[in-house]
A and B are shown apart, each in its own frame.
Chain A
């Protein structure tokens, strides 16, 4: 299965989770997502997602000067973002449990 397809629907939650853990700038979030195992995540997808979440009020942002290269825009999670993340957690738990059950019982068909 194309993992990028799977990512598409879950990137919001993944990005929120990473930022909730610690504020981060775009590339930093990409790195942490990859380190967490989402190796296929695309840079552009993450930046776009962060911007969209920021516009929706789930993230705040602030600029930190950098000695190396351009200033970095850090993102932090807002109360709204936390609500959204909590909701995503519940949804994912239910969804993944349902899917796990389904796939485990059907293991011979997929193999």
Chain B
């Protein structure tokens, strides 16, 4: 037998065609079969003068014989076989296979996570209460047992992951388990994100944007309409605070239409109400008595007695 340091291309081609014909066979079973075939092809190629195909027959027939001898059922549907072949070809693409290898390296993170998700998901499904101090911790009896359950599940999950890498038997149930736990990640994540905001704690909101000028219940006041007790609207009423500060209403931008009272010395007065506006282009206030729609109350309390003046009003 001559040494076959490099794979003869005919062997490669033959092998690829056998592989294609076995596209529907589960990947690990097919790989084992093909590993066998590969050894044989090398030895056949090195022992015989003619082509491998001449020795072994067409690869498709070879594959059919292999399949029937191995007791593997023929492909169910050509579509499924084609799909599997496409997936396999995709998985062999260097970039895809590099990503798969990377994911494989990251798999232990998922193993640990799925252990937690299993416990958290079951706790959610069972409607268990959750620890208040450690929000991600469900109570299994109590929070401490919950932590123990999570640690145990993570350990078991990692053990399962390591074991399933060594064996091919568990492939299907493990895939199913992964699928279920992957779906369970969503409700668990939603639950945790809600818990991230403590429900019992009161929030104090500090309002930092102070309103300049006049405000009523937090909303700015841009005008005031003072009425007498018998319902007459007053004009040019000057308002002051208890500390003697004028209750100015002014905007930062100069408004040429606003009627602003001026002192004899020329100082502008901004605390005169109601604020009135000129008609554009004139110095005329068209409706000086205009005011908001208010229903003025009928007042029963007698007017305040003023010491200096005689008062005409009647007490009702």
Contact = CB atoms under 8 A, between A and B. Distances in A.
A46 B37 CA distance: 10
A73 interface: yes
Contact of A47 (B4, B7, B36, B43): B36
Contacts of B43: 27, 69
A51 B3 contact: no
B63 interface: yes
Contacts of B42: 68-70
B69 A11 contact: yes
Nearest to B29: A51
Contacts of B63: 44
Bin the interface of chain B by size: 20 to 34
Contacts of B40: 26-27, 30, 43, 47
Interface SS of chain A: helix
B131 interface: no
B69 A45 contact: yes
A80 interface: no
Contacts of A55: 71
A44 B66 CA distance: 4
A78 interface: no
A42 B4 contact: no
B223 to A, nearest CB: 92
A44 B65 contact: yes
A52 interface: yes
B67 interface: yes
Contacts of A32: none
A82 interface: no
Bin the interface of chain A by size: 20 to 34
Nearest to A31: B43
Contact of A43 (B29, B35, B56, B67): B56
Interface string B35-69: 11111101110000000000010000011111111
B105 interface: no
A47 B71 CA distance: 11
Contact of A52 (B5, B38, B64, B70): B70
Contacts of A51: 29, 32-33, 36, 70
B71 A52 contact: yes
Given A27-B39, A50-B36, A69-B39, A44 B56 contact: yes
Interface in A66-101: 66-73
A57 interface: no
B1 interface: yes
A30 B219 CA distance: 95
Contacts of A67: 3
A27 B39 CA distance: 7
Contacts of B64: 44
Contacts of A43: 37, 40, 44, 56, 62
Contacts of A68: 1, 3-5, 42
Given A44-B56, A52-B71, 18 more contacts: A11-B69, A25-B39, A26-B36, A26-B37, A30-B40, A43-B37, A45-B65, A47-B36, A47-B40, A47-B69, A48-B67, A48-B71, A51-B29, A51-B70, A68-B5, A69-B4, A69-B7, A72-B39
29 contacts: A25-B39, A26-B36, A26-B40, A27-B43, A30-B40, A44-B37, A44-B63, A44-B65, A44-B69, A45-B65, A47-B37, A47-B40, A47-B70, A48-B33, A48-B65, A48-B72, A49-B69, A49-B70, A51-B29, A51-B33, A52-B69, A68-B3, A68-B5, A69-B38, A70-B38, A71-B35, A73-B32, A73-B36, A73-B39
Interface of B: 1, 3-5, 7, 29, 32-33, 35-40, 42-44, 56, 62-72
Interface of A: 11, 25-27, 30, 42-52, 55, 66-73
| Pairs of residues from A and B, 7 with the lowest C-beta to C-beta distance, nearest first | A48-B69, A48-B70, A44-B65, A44-B66, A69-B42, A27-B40, A45-B69
